[in-house]
């Protein structure tokens, strides 16, 4: 397999002010393109390590991607260092100069000498034109090894990777392996249960076929990969067969709220939310999806009991007899918001988000979720963790996944929770 | 300065399935402790690169932190590789074995052979007891260079860094530099304007004192650092003097909603939210703070016009005459929710979040924010970006910061926006 290294340059990475999302984004892209990413390195904006690490990678990797240190300020020295590695003069590139001038004109800024330096590039490189910013990308070759140098600003880097580096790779680097990677997304099923449902994988994972279970607070993702399309056919079918009802969709960045939204559009249904412990996260998740106003009518964040009573018609009696965190109140909230707003579906959350406020009977992490789906009325109870933000996130995922499964008639609910009626 | 390297091991890092938050977290900790973090490296779970990179760092760095590859599965080979580097046998550690057994007993899991292997450690190391999980941390020394090997699970790694590695560093590594780093947080002021307000820094930044402006969608952070406390006194005073009213607080992870919450508690005031384009993000941000139920009464997510009318008393006339995205509706929403919920403060958002739905008159990114603060009634208008999620985030930050400044009587609003009354 062709090897790739990723070198990210910048003091902010080493002192931990910036999480290195560039490296993982590039790693993912290169893996999909058929490279084996063997090493990621982060170094400061210092001349010697830049020279050493790039020179080393130029020998060991077929392709090296470098980001960062191309700005106009004096600590940005990547361009100078790279020019020295190739023993090449910095020369002014007219196309880049005109582009930089144009950007400054449009924004009404003054064009200074340090901005003019943005148009300097090592004579031996091919310029990767950066329509999104002032720092050009650069493409180099030495003895059949390739080097791309890109700005560290994420959207500029991504633009250059997608539009320019991909073309150069196609032009210059032959015999890349095929690397097919697919992500199956699930929610509301623990890794171990999912793994049991999927069962023994040995017969599918010969021949370089790989399967991995990737858990995180919003759900478990199954990644499958192989070096040819046809090797995945059987595995894919088996996954759908054994665990299909838990898989809400495919795609690394697919969101459950998006899948549910498409389902609501397909069924021509509307939804409304009544949130206590999730505090708006549920409606926020739903409205993060473009076009969600087609099915999301609105919601109520009912933190105080007065709001539960006045805006959601929760009865004083239920609050007194069972408390705000109870099946009864969750059910009333869900029905209340659906009726008040005129939605087909009402969902609710009420729980002890934490980190404090728990009792023996109602510990931190205990949540009641209420559902009113086309007249069907039920509630689910779960006990999550001690972490406030994780509790909010888990509750939202269970609610969205419960509605999805109910609308599709899937015969189990998240975590195999049992619906409890009034 | 003492040098540190960070080596993170795991295929998931290189193929980009996991963003390397461990490296940045450790980088930040080591920098605070007085190390100069010179290099971060990520490599796969492969024997040869693990041996090579750790051996190399053991020579070059005073302290090397390694994470990952300590689990019980067959691709976790870090422990074996490290034992080989030190030419040391793996031996069973009784304390670790008992701890692992106890964990399995508590959780009701079956204790298997591969779990027993978790208790094996290289004979030459000092064990870093991991109360949070089954994989012990390990501490090694060679020729005055130190190595800590930690599990990759973030909360286990953090626990071991805080409780165990910090002690070993204190015990073994002398003459660490002092490295004082402080973060001043601002919101609703662009980097260039903030930089202008702060003005010339040359007289403060001699002597190794450093200042950096770190922009991100939720605001600009000013980082200042020096190798002694007294060098920062003047700079700190100057920042407070010139930009104090824009600084909502100090601390890398401080949240604006937390600062506003403390202010509301201090003033014994309550708040309620009426959200259209932010869709719940505003109330979610407020309720992410533990104890927020003391001042957050609740809110309405009013996506449809019916909800705006029925739950917030927005008039049909305003909706028809000015449209849902208008000063009039923003004002009515803010007052409506405050009155309905009985809160001292009502805030609202209505805008075109995007990515589509804009017109020439009301482009994507245009947002009206309404405020009802103890009877004071005004609205702000801003045009943000084309990105839906960034528009939601910016709107929330401007609203929170506007309330904060208003409550403190600061004489300007975020981005110097002009309040518009009815």
Interface check A341 vs B, CB under 8 A: yes
- Closest chain B residue to A154 measured between Cα atoms? B216
Q: Identify any residues that bridge with B345 across adjacent strands, giving them in sequence order.
A: B271, B373
Q: Which residues contact A410 (CB under 8 A, 6 or more apart)?
A: A245, A404
Nearest residue to A243 via CA among A205, A213, A203: A213
CATH number of the domain residue B221 falls in: 3.30.70.2860
Taking residues B178-194, report their average pLDDT.
90
CB within 8 Å: B303 and A296 = yes
Provide the chain B residues 62-91 that lie in CB contact (below 8 A) with chain A: none
| Residues A33 and A143 reside in one and the same domain | yes
Helix (H) or strand (E) holding A226: strand A219-226
In this model, does residue B85 exceed pLDDT 80? yes
Question: Can you state the angle between helices B47-60 and B78-85, rounded to 10 degrees?
Answer: 50
CATH number of the domain residue A371 falls in: 3.90.950.20
In chain B, what's the furthest Cα-to-Cα distance?
82
In this model, does residue B422 exceed pLDDT 80? no
Q: Identify any residues that bridge with A298 across adjacent strands, giving them in sequence order.
A: A272, B302
A247-250: strand order across its sheet: A210-216, A219-226, A180-186, A247-250
Examine residue A360 and state whether it is found in any structural domain, yes or no: yes
Examine residue B197 and state whether it is found in any structural domain, yes or no: yes
CB within 8 Å: B28 and A17 = yes
Q: What is the pLDDT of residues A256-308, one digit of tens each?
A: 999 999 999 999 999 999 999 999 999 999 999 999 999 999 999 999 999 99
| Residues B31 and B11 reside in one and the same domain | yes
| Residues B372 and B326 reside in one and the same domain | yes
pLDDT above 90: percentage of residues in chain A: 79
Determine the Cα–Cα distance for residues A232 and A221; give it in Å rounded to an integer.
Answer: 17
Identify the pLDDT of residue B216.
82
Determine the Cα–Cα distance for residues B160 and B136; give it in Å rounded to an integer.
Answer: 9
CB within 8 Å: A42 and B23 = yes
Residues of chain A contacting B10 with CB distance shorter than 8 Å = none
Q: How many domains does chain B divide into?
A: 3
In this model, does residue B205 exceed pLDDT 90? no
Interface check A292 vs B, CB under 8 A: yes
Backbone angles phi, psi at A380, to 5 degrees: -125, 145
Interface check A275 vs B, CB under 8 A: yes
Identify the pLDDT of residue B314.
96
Q: DSSP string covering A55-117, please?
A: HHHHHH-SEEEEES--SSSTT--HHHHHHHHTT--EEE-HHHHHHHHHHHHHHT----HHHHG
Beta strand B345-351 with B366-373: parallel, antiparallel or unpaired?
A: antiparallel
Q: Which of A1, A24, A34, A39 to mutate: most B Cβ within 10 Å?
A: A24
Taking residues A1-9, report their average pLDDT.
97
User: Residues B78, B68: contact at Cβ < 8 Å?
Assistant: yes
Question: What confidence category does residue B193 fall into, taking pLDDT thresholds of 50, 70 and 90?
Answer: confident
Identify the pLDDT of residue A199.
86
Examine residue A274 and state whether it is found in any structural domain, yes or no: yes
DSSP letter assigned to residue A420: B
DSSP 3-state of B205: coil
Determine the Cα–Cα distance for residues A198 and A208; give it in Å rounded to an integer.
Answer: 19
Question: What confidence category does residue B110 fall into, taking pLDDT thresholds of 50, 70 and 90?
Answer: confident
Helix (H) or strand (E) holding B348: strand B345-351
Tell me what the pLDDT averaged over chain A comes to: 93
Examine residue A391 and state whether it is found in any structural domain, yes or no: yes
Interface check A403 vs B, CB under 8 A: no
Determine the Cα–Cα distance for residues A310 and A316; give it in Å rounded to an integer.
Answer: 10
| Residues B376 and B273 reside in one and the same domain | yes
Provide the chain A residues 161-190 that lie in CB contact (below 8 A) with chain B: 181
Shortest Cα distance, chain A CAs vs residue B91, angstroms = 30
Tell me what the pLDDT averaged over chain B comes to: 94
Q: CA-based Rg of chain A, rounded to a whole angstrom?
A: 27
Query: Of A232, A250, A268, which marks where a domain is finished?
Result: A250
Q: Which of B149 and B253 is assigned the larger pLDDT?
A: B149
- Closest chain A residue to B34 measured between Cα atoms? A15
Determine the Cα–Cα distance for residues B250 and B244; give it in Å rounded to an integer.
Answer: 11
Q: Where are the beta strands (DSSP E) in B193-325?
A: 210-216, 219-226, 247-250, 271-275, 296-302
Determine the Cα–Cα distance for residues A37 and A7; give it in Å rounded to an integer.
Answer: 11
Determine whether B274 is exposed, middle or buried from the number of CB atoms within 10 Å of its CB (0-12, 13-18, 19+). buried
| Residues B287 and B204 reside in one and the same domain | no
Interface check A51 vs B, CB under 8 A: no
| Residues B91 and B15 reside in one and the same domain | yes
Range of the structural domain that residue B199 is part of: 180-250
- Closest chain B residue to A390 measured between Cα atoms? B288
Identify the pLDDT of residue B192.
82
Identify the pLDDT of residue B6.
98
CB within 8 Å: A284 and B287 = no
Determine the Cα–Cα distance for residues A74 and A295; give it in Å rounded to an integer.
Answer: 52
In this model, does residue B154 exceed pLDDT 90? yes
Identify the pLDDT of residue B207.
81
| Residues B88 and B207 reside in one and the same domain | no
User: Residues A299, A337: contact at Cβ < 8 Å?
Assistant: yes
CB within 8 Å: A301 and B290 = no
Examine residue B422 and state whether it is found in any structural domain, yes or no: no
Q: What is the pLDDT of residues B381-418, one digit of tens each?
A: 999 888 899 999 999 999 999 999 999 999 889 988 99
CATH number of the domain residue B12 falls in: 3.40.980.10
Provide the chain B residues 358-397 that lie in CB contact (below 8 A) with chain A: 388-389, 392
Residues of chain A contacting B300 with CB distance shorter than 8 Å = 298-301, 311
Interface check A43 vs B, CB under 8 A: yes
Q: Is A108 left (phi over 0), alpha (psi -120 to 50) or beta?
A: left
Taking the CA atoms of A409, A410, A413 and A418 in sequence, report the sign of the dihedral they define: positive
User: Residues B343, A307: contact at Cβ < 8 Å?
Assistant: no
CB within 8 Å: A42 and B43 = no
How many other C-beta atoms lie within 10 A of the C-beta of residue B359? 11
Question: What confidence category does residue B116 fall into, taking pLDDT thresholds of 50, 70 and 90?
Answer: confident
CB within 8 Å: A15 and B28 = yes
Shortest Cα distance, chain A CAs vs residue B242, angstroms = 24
Shortest Cα distance, chain B CAs vs residue A42, angstroms = 5
Q: Number of A:B CB contacts under 8 A? A: 229
DSSP letter assigned to residue B13: H
Range in A198-202, A232-236, B11-15 the model is least confident about = A198-202
Taking residues B54-81, report their average pLDDT.
93
pLDDT above 70: percentage of residues in chain A: 100
User: Residues A258, A390: contact at Cβ < 8 Å?
Assistant: no
ipTM of predicted assembly, 2 dp = 0.90
Interface check B282 vs A, CB under 8 A: yes
Question: What confidence category does residue A105 fall into, taking pLDDT thresholds of 50, 70 and 90?
Answer: confident
Beta strand A137-142 with A126-128: parallel, antiparallel or unpaired?
A: antiparallel
Query: Nearest Cβ partner of A300 from B43, B281, B298?
Result: B298
Q: Please calculate the CA angle B174-B178-B181 and round it to the nearest 5 degrees.
A: 145
Identify the pLDDT of residue A421.
83
Question: Can you state the angle between helices A327-341 and A305-312, rounded to 10 degrees?
Answer: 40
Nearest residue to A97 via CA among A125, A116, A71: A116
| Residues A106 and A132 reside in one and the same domain | yes
Interface check B134 vs A, CB under 8 A: no
CB within 8 Å: B299 and A310 = no
Shortest Cα distance, chain B CAs vs residue A189, angstroms = 18
Examine residue A330 and state whether it is found in any structural domain, yes or no: yes
Nearest residue to A20 via CA among B388, B28, B158: B28
Backbone angles phi, psi at B216, to 5 degrees: -155, 170
Interface check B286 vs A, CB under 8 A: yes
Nearest residue to B279 via CA among B385, B361, B367: B367
Determine the Cα–Cα distance for residues A89 and A116; give it in Å rounded to an integer.
Answer: 16
Q: Calculate the dihedral angle through the C-alpha atoms of A310, A314, A316, A321, rounding to the nearest 10 degrees.
A: -160
Query: Of B194, B215, B250, which marks where a domain is finished?
Result: B250
Examine residue A422 and state whether it is found in any structural domain, yes or no: no
Shortest Cα distance, chain B CAs vs residue A422, angstroms = 26
CB within 8 Å: A307 and B21 = no
Examine residue B421 and state whether it is found in any structural domain, yes or no: no
pLDDT above 90: percentage of residues in chain B: 79
Q: What is the pLDDT of residues A366-412, one digit of tens each?
A: 999 999 999 999 999 999 888 899 999 999 999 999 999 999 999 88
CA distances from A14 to B3, B5, B6, B127, B178 (A): 12, 9, 9, 27, 17
Q: Which residues contact B96 (CB under 8 A, 6 or more apart)?
A: B118, B119, B121, B127, B129, B136
Determine the Cα–Cα distance for residues A37 and A39; give it in Å rounded to an integer.
Answer: 6
Interface check B299 vs A, CB under 8 A: yes
Q: Which of A299, A348, A386 to mutate: most B Cβ within 10 Å?
A: A299
Residues of chain B contacting A286 with CB distance shorter than 8 Å = 279-280
| Residues A398 and A295 reside in one and the same domain | yes
Q: What is the pLDDT of residues A304-356, one digit of tens each?
A: 999 999 999 999 999 999 999 999 999 999 999 999 999 999 999 999 999 99
| Residues B242 and B262 reside in one and the same domain | no
| Residues B198 and B138 reside in one and the same domain | no
* Buried b / exposed e along B112-134 (16+ C-beta atoms within 10 A): eeebeebbbbbebbebbebebbb
Taking residues B262-269, report their average pLDDT.
98
Determine the Cα–Cα distance for residues A152 and A169; give it in Å rounded to an integer.
Answer: 20
| Residues A149 and A268 reside in one and the same domain | no
Identify the pLDDT of residue B188.
86
Query: Of B250, B265, B296, which marks where a domain is finished?
Result: B250
Q: Is B416 left (phi over 0), alpha (psi -120 to 50) or beta?
A: left
In this model, does residue A108 exceed pLDDT 80? no
């Amino acid at each position: 397999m062709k090897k790739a290294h990723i070198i990210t340059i910048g003091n902010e990475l080493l002192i931990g002010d910036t999480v290195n999302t560039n490296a993982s984004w590039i790693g993912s892209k290169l893996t999909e393109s058929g490279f084996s990413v063997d090493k990621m390195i982060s170094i400061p904006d210092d001349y010697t390590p830049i020279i050493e690490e790039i020179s080393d990678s130029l020998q060991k990797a077929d392709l090296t991607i470098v980001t960062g240190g191309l700005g106009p300020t004096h600590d940005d020295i990547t361009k100078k260092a790279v020019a020295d590695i190739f023993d090449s003069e910095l020369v002014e590139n007219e196309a880049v100069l005109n582009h930089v001038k144009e950007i400054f004109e449009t924004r009404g800024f003054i064009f200074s000498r340090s901005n003019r330096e943005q148009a300097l590039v090592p004579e031996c490189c091919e310029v990767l034109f950066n329509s999104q910013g002032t720092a050009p990308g650069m493409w180099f070759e030495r003895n059949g090894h390739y080097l791309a140098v890109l700005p560290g600003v994420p959207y500029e880097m991504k633009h250059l990777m997608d539009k320019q580096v991909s073309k150069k790779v196609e032009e210059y680097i032959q015999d890349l392996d095929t690397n097919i990677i697919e992500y199956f997304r699930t929610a509301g099923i623990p890794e171990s249960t999912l793994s049991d449902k999927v069962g023994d994988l040995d017969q599918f994972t010969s021949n370089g076929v790989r399967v991995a279970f990737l858990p995180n607070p919003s759900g478990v993702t199954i990644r499958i990969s192989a070096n040819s399309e046809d090797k995945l056919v059987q595995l894919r079918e088996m996954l759908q067969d054994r665990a299909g009802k838990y898989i809400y969709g495919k795609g690394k960045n697919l969101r459950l709220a998006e899948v549910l939204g498409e389902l609501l559009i397909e069924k021509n249904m509307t939804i409304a939310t009544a949130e206590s412990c999730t505090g708006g996260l549920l409606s926020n998740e739903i409205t993060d999806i473009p076009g969600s106003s087609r099915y999301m009518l609105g919601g109520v964040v009912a933190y105080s009991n007065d709001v539960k009573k006045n805006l959601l018609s929760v009865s004083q009696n239920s609050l007194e007899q069972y408390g705000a965190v109870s099946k009864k109140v969750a059910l009333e909230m869900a029905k209340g918001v659906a009726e008040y707003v005129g939605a087909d579906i009402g969902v609710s959350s009420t729980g002890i988000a934490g980190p404090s406020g728990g009792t023996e009977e109602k510990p931190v992490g205990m949540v009641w979720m209420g559902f009113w789906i086309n007249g069907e009325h039920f509630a689910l109870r779960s006990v999550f963790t001690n972490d406030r933000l994780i509790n909010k996130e888990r509750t939202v995922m269970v609610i969205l996944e419960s509605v999805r499964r109910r609308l599709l008639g899937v015969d189990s609910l998240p975590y195999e929770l049992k619906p409890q009626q009034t």
